Amino acid sequence: MSNKSKSCGKAGLRFHIRTFGCQMNMHDSEKIAGVLTEAGYCESSGSDDADVIVLNTCSIREKAEQKFFSELGRLGKAKEKNPRLKIAVAGCIARQRGKDLFRRFPYVDFVFGPDNIDNIYPWIMPEPAAAQEATSQSEGRATAIEYNPEYSTKKLPVKREGQVRAWVSIMYGCDNFCAYCVVPYTRGRERSRPAEDICDEIKSLADGGFREVTLLGQNVNSYGKKLSGESCDFPGLLYRIHDIDGIERIRFVTSHPRDFSEKLIKAMRDLPKVCEHLHLPLQSGSDKILQLMNRGYTYEDYKRKIDDLRNNINNIAITTDIIVGFPGESDEDFQRTADALDEIGFDGIFAFKYSRRPGTKALELPGHLDERVKSQRLSMVLKLQEAVTSRKNKSLEGGVYEVLVEGKSATDGDRLTGRTRTNKIVNFYGERALIGSIVRVKILEAKQHSLYGEAIQNHS
Ligand code: 5AD
Ligand code: SF4
């Protein structure tokens, strides 16, 4: 704290960001950090020595909301201790609740949505005219939560977490309106970034030493649908990114099974930099539930795409999202999901209990289930998947895989950590100098969430 102004840019002030939710939110936090850094702030080590605290929120499930509300509740005390502390609420809850947050939490200073990250500038450095125009102000507090159709053409500074792997937004919003999902209401209509802007960003990442990019969008398979002029579709975008020197690995999330095309399977097969991993949310194994969810495919459609993928791409790892206890899910419907997990054999799953979300279609459906039933079903799918994941991971023991080294292991500082092309975490002993390179690692032991191995030879 003593050398605060010396180490802290022109403003001598510090910020702290707490992120809830998905990779999209984590990347938004990197943009929020980018804007604050450009405004002369620097990052604090925690919330205690911060002058500005931003909570970047998620409203996808009730649990994420509750976590945020209890954390925001605790910040009241911090504000009492330091009345000059500024508190901002960002992200999906900000967009949904807007000014209401001021009523319940009078110590919140600024509320801004996912499309309004650059509104931090006028808030943080108020020039009266600009601030009035860009934010809606009342009693010293401000909101900026409007949907912005032009957001996809904005170029924001990004302060990235890592040095090896980077997230790159390729599109914003979602038009799918799955019956359970709040995202189309919080992140607005689907908008694709111009391919030119995406490629420019990735070129500068490559120049800065990054080796891997993960392309982000709620439904990357519909990339480009609304772009005019000389635009491309998602497979076309992959071909363009593949040409960028210095980038060695390309990943993307999230894909929608309905829009997952043969053309994309071909691109994944033919482009060596595109990794052999796909996250393809199934949600349920029951056609009745898939229809109620408004997913636009049957289990058979989904299974056919998985077979195509596996036939075309050797050893591809496939992960998925599952919701249990959707309204109307009978024992038989649930059994179909369990059977699907068994039949497909995913490398990993994210499983959730259905959570009621305001404004969504599923709220009005009959047959909402008891919390107890949802919890039982969740434990059952997790247990079932644990056995599949263990079996899959065990089968990797003795094999040699390319690992892109990301840094020191968070759990064991003596080891390095990285990922295989199939997105499995691998820990092994090695020199710091290997960070950023691709190393061949022999897998010695497979655990549930990560693999342990030894380096065979430095390969790039
Ligand atoms: N309840 C439970 N899970 C949800 N998801 C989205 N909305 C809900 C909800 N209301 C899950 C889906 C989605 C993942 C990101 O979150 O499985 O794919
Ligand atoms: Fe939500 Fe469905 Fe859009 Fe995914 S595709 S963000 S689950 S509405």
In a domain, 152, yes or no: no
Distance separating alpha carbons of residues 298 and 258, to the nearest angstrom: 9
In a domain, 19, yes or no: yes
In this prediction, residue 458 carries a pLDDT of 54
In this prediction, residue 134 carries a pLDDT of 58
In this structure, the answer to whether residues 13 and 135 fall within a common structural domain is: yes
Question: Are 408 and 368 contacting, i.e. CB atoms less than 8 angstroms apart?
Answer: no
pTM over 0.75: yes
Q: Could you tell me what percentage of the chain is helix, strand and coil, using 3-state DSSP and rounding each to the nearest 5? A: 40, 25, 40
Contacts of 110 (CB under 8 A, 6+ apart): 86, 87, 88, 89, 120, 123, 135, 141, 142, 143, 144
pLDDT at residue 403 above 80? yes
φ, ψ for residue 34, nearest 5 deg: -60, -45
In this structure, the answer to whether residues 291 and 269 fall within a common structural domain is: no
In this structure, the answer to whether residues 140 and 13 fall within a common structural domain is: yes
pLDDT at residue 229 above 80? no
Strand order in the sheet with 136-138: 41-43, 13-19, 52-57, 86-90, 110-112, 141-144, 136-138
In this prediction, residue 228 carries a pLDDT of 79
Average pLDDT over residues 167-183: 97
Identify the three-state secondary structure at position 277: strand
In this structure, the answer to whether residues 446 and 409 fall within a common structural domain is: yes
Question: Are 320 and 277 contacting, i.e. CB atoms less than 8 angstroms apart?
Answer: no
CA 60 to ligand 1: nearest atom: 7
Average pLDDT over residues 226-234: 84
In this structure, the answer to whether residues 136 and 21 fall within a common structural domain is: yes
Average pLDDT over residues 52-75: 96
Distance separating alpha carbons of residues 164 and 436, to the nearest angstrom: 5
Average pLDDT over residues 152-164: 95
H or E stretch at 429: strand 425-429
Region of residue 36 (phi > 0: left; psi between -120 and 50: alpha; otherwise: beta): alpha
In this prediction, residue 6 carries a pLDDT of 44
Residue 215 vs residues 273, 309, 393, 414: alpha-carbon distances, Å = 13, 19, 26, 31
pLDDT in tens, 284-302: 999 999 999 999 999 999 9
CB of residue 257 inside a 6 A radius of ligand 1? no
Structural domains counted in the chain: 4
In a domain, 460, yes or no: no
Examine the fold and report which residue of 364, 395, 426 is the final residue of a domain before the chain moves on.
395
Query: What separation in Å is there between the alpha carbon of 105 and the centre of ligand 1?
Result: 27
Q: And the tokens for 172? A: 């914003």
In this prediction, residue 413 carries a pLDDT of 78
Distance separating alpha carbons of residues 133 and 283, to the nearest angstrom: 43
Contacts of 146 (CB under 8 A, 6+ apart): 113, 115, 116
pLDDT band, residue 226 (cuts 50/70/90): confident
Mean pLDDT of the chain: 93
In a domain, 55, yes or no: yes
In this prediction, residue 70 carries a pLDDT of 96
Residue 238 vs residues 11, 232, 264, 270, 431: alpha-carbon distances, Å = 41, 10, 9, 11, 33
pLDDT at residue 4 above 90? no
In this structure, the answer to whether residues 99 and 202 fall within a common structural domain is: no
In this prediction, residue 135 carries a pLDDT of 62
Closest C-alpha residue for ligand 2 atom 1: 181
Examine the fold and report which residue of 144, 177, 211 is the final residue of a domain before the chain moves on.
144
In this structure, the answer to whether residues 14 and 115 fall within a common structural domain is: yes
In this structure, the answer to whether residues 293 and 412 fall within a common structural domain is: no
pLDDT in tens, 191-206: 999 999 999 999 999 9
pLDDT band, residue 1 (cuts 50/70/90): very low
CA 60 to ligand 2: nearest atom: 1
In this structure, the answer to whether residues 28 and 134 fall within a common structural domain is: yes
Closest C-alpha residue for ligand 1 atom 14: 321
In a domain, 174, yes or no: yes
Range of the domain at 414: 400-455
pLDDT band, residue 172 (cuts 50/70/90): very high
pLDDT in tens, 80-116: 999 999 999 999 999 999 999 999 999 999 999 999 9
Query: What separation in Å is there between the alpha carbon of 5 and the centre of ligand 1?
Result: 44
In this structure, the answer to whether residues 430 and 370 fall within a common structural domain is: no
Average pLDDT over residues 356-382: 98
Closest C-alpha residue for ligand 1 atom 2: 354
Residue 332 burial by Cβ neighbours in a 10 Å radius (0-12, 13-18, 19+): exposed
- CATH number for the domain harbouring residue 205: 3.30.750.210
Residue 109 vs residues 76, 90, 317: alpha-carbon distances, Å = 12, 11, 45
Q: Which has the minimum average pLDDT: 6-10, 168-172, 434-438?
A: 6-10
Residue 127 burial by Cβ neighbours in a 10 Å radius (0-12, 13-18, 19+): exposed
Identify the three-state secondary structure at position 332: helix
Nearest alpha carbon to residue 166 among 219, 210, 197, 216: 210
In this structure, the answer to whether residues 18 and 135 fall within a common structural domain is: yes
- CATH number for the domain harbouring residue 21: 3.40.50.12160
pLDDT band, residue 3 (cuts 50/70/90): very low
In a domain, 154, yes or no: no
- CATH number for the domain harbouring residue 285: 3.30.750.200
pLDDT in tens, 32-43: 999 999 999 999
- CATH number for the domain harbouring residue 427: 2.40.50.140
Examine the fold and report which residue of 345, 368, 395 is the final residue of a domain before the chain moves on.
395
In this prediction, residue 133 carries a pLDDT of 57
Average pLDDT over residues 217-236: 90
In a domain, 157, yes or no: no
- Measured from the Cβ of residue 266, the count of other Cβ atoms closer than 10 Å reads 12
Q: And the tokens for 289? A: 């539930």
CB of residue 176 inside a 6 A radius of ligand 2? yes
CB of residue 219 inside a 6 A radius of ligand 2? yes
In this structure, the answer to whether residues 299 and 269 fall within a common structural domain is: no
Identify the three-state secondary structure at position 285: coil
In this prediction, residue 130 carries a pLDDT of 54
In a domain, 156, yes or no: no
